[in-house]
Structures are given as structure tokens and as C-alpha cells.
Structure 1
Amino acid sequence: MIDGADDRLPERIQTPRLLLRRWQHDEASMLDNLVESNVKHLRPWMPWIKFEPQTVSERVTLIETWTREWEDGGDVVLGTFLDGFAIGSCGLHRRVGPGALDIGYWIADDHTRRGFATEATSALTTTAFGVAGIERVEVHTDEANEASAGVPAKLGFRRDRVIQRAPEAPAESGRLIIWTMAKADWR
């Protein structure tokens, strides 16, 4: 099930086990607790973790920024909820150019290896291809992050190319794998 309006990316996606929906400003404490309890798990791979710790007030501002970007037709950042509890975050991003969206995701350490990232990414891919003009979806993973790379591989994304770049997080190799899925090839 997909809910959306105007040229905005959908703000709510239901999967068999998960609810993916936009973060609300009154959930800043929930997001704060989720990130804080996963800093060690996220630090090796997520460049944005270098800005941690943040205050709850800073999280409110961050969520409000995500909301404004979404309202203006930009990216959508979604909480990943299981039985009403936040277990991660994901999103659709317009940063890869016209006709394409990029999917980002992370799952809390105590919920990894249960298929939640794959389930969310599958739903995000289906959702992306329901957006007018989207013909390609990408997932970017560092070559050293085998767990994250397993997600697009399981879903049939094609390993399109590798880009050399300076590592942005401590465990990164500097070799960014670009996984792609064409709309014509999706299920």
C-alpha cells in the first residue's frame, strides 16, 4: 500500500511486516534513542554518524528539515517500524539525477539478519517505480560492507560499476559499488 500526494515521494509504505513512514517532529526522542543505541553499529559505515551525539532539539530540527525537503518534492526519509517500534530508517533520494532514485537504509543492530533491510528495500524499489518518470533505482554500498551489499544482490540489482573515492566512514574501503535496477527488470 502506497500513500502519497502531488509530486512528493510517498510518505507511507506498508510491507508484510514493516511500516515505513516519515518521521514526525514529536518522534525526535525516539529517533535519538534509536541512533544513540546504535552508534557503535553504525559508525563503521554511515558518514553522518560523525555528527553524533545530537541533542533531541537538534533531532527535531533535522526531522523538520526532512519534512520541508519532502514537502518541496525532494527526498523522503522514513522510519522503519516493526509492531509500532522503530528499528531503523530508510529513504528515497533524488541525488542520482533525473529518472532515478537512490535507496538508503539501516537497521538497528538487534534486528539485523532477519530480512528487514531487504523487505524495506524491496518495498522502496516498488514504490520508486510507481513514481512518474522513474526508470532506474540505485543502491550504493561500500565494497567492504558485505552485509549491506547483500540486500541489493538478493533483490536482483545489477552491480553496475565501482567508483573510487575517499572513504567517508571509518570502515569504508573507498570503493563504492553502484547497484542498479531498471524498471523494466523489476518483478
Structure 2
Amino acid sequence: METERLYLRLITIDDAEFLCKLMNTKKWHQMIGDRKVYTAEDAIAYMHERMDPDLSTKGFVNHVMVHKDTGDLIGTCSLHNREGVDGLDIGYALLSEHEGRGYATEGAKAMVELAFGKYQVEYVSAITNDDNIGSYKVLEKLGFQHAGYVRIQDSDDDIRLYVLKKN
């Protein structure tokens, strides 16, 4: 997939170093949690255990956001079908040096278009922590509406739920 400034491609084991770096940012640990991915080998194992099954059974998995001009890997965006959230939900994460430039909005918009287009869903969900103001600002910019709170697997906290209905 392609947006104005980004290429979005499926994540591969060649992205292990990048994924490890992203998953060990302060913001990832605060907002998503420590997934115990501390080396490239851990990242490869994580991909095989957590991402590959989604690709083979659901047809989708994390996408890497690649900056068109520089070729830099700047973040990930994805579709999920996670327990505790009805339907498909989107997720995104950026390396801190790329935050605040609209890349999360671009990536999330591409995931919404993928969900509505290829997967023909009637709505897309998204979840975020109450204190992740930047994340829910992205969702609101795309037209998502706050729809309450949910509790997902492996979490003790209620998480903000957002929903965007297909026009």
C-alpha cells in the first residue's frame, strides 16, 4: 500500500532489528506494554508466535511504515481481530523521532481503507489508553467516535474503545 508520504508493507523477519527497537521505546512500554522482546532473535520469535498465525489465518498482520523519501522504517500500523474487541481494530506505533508529523494518521487511514475495502467490514474499532492523548487525537481526526471502554486479554485495565462506521 502507499500513502502520500509512506509505503506500507507486511512486516518480515528482515525487520527484526527495527521491531525490537520500536518495541523497546519508552512510549511502547507505557502505552502497549513490555512484550519481552529485547533482541532481534526475540523479535523473530514474537513474529512467528504472534504475527504469523494472523497472517495465515486472517490474511493480515502488522505493516511497516517506510518513509518514501528516505527509506527509513518509522513505525508500524496494523489490523487486528483481538479478543475483547468486536470486529477488526487498528493499531499503530512510531519511533519517537517521527511522532507529531501526521504519519500515524496516514498509516491508520490506510488501515481503515484496507478494512473497509478489502475486508468489507461495516465498522472499524481502535483501542487506546486514557493517557495516550496523541493516539486518540489521531482516531478523532479520522472520524472515530469514543464508544466506551473494553477490557482486553492480558490487561487489568479498562481501555478506551473507538469506532468508525462505514459511510
TM-score (norm 1): 0.76
Distance across 2 between alignment mates of 1:112 and 1:154: 15
Change (3 A) 1:58 1:134: same
Gaps of 5+ in 2: none
Structure whose alpha-carbon radius of gyration is higher: 1
Change beyond 3 A, Cα 1:156–1:24: same
Tell me, what secondary structure is at the counterpart of 1:44?
helix
Partner of 1:162: 149
Aligned runs of 1:1-187 on 2, under 5 Å? 13-36=1-24, 38=25, 40-47=26-33, 49-53=34-38, 55-65=39-49, 66-82=51-67, 83-95=70-82, 96-97=85-86, 100-163=87-150, 168=155, 174-184=157-167
Match of 1:9? none
How many residue pairs get matched? 162
* Percent identity over paired residues: 29
Change (3 A) 1:23 1:148: same
Q: State the Cα distance separating 1:74 from its structure 2 match.
A: 4.9
Task: Report the CA distance shift for 1:135/1:43 in structure 2 as closer, same or farther (over 3 A).
Answer: same
TM-score, reference length from structure 2: 0.84
Report the equivalent of 1:7.
Answer: none
C-alpha change, 1:72 and 1:151, in structure 2 (3 Å) is same
Instruction: For structure 1, list consecutive stretches of 5 or more residues without a partner in the other structure.
Output: 1-12
Contact 2:23 2:35 in 1 (8 A): no
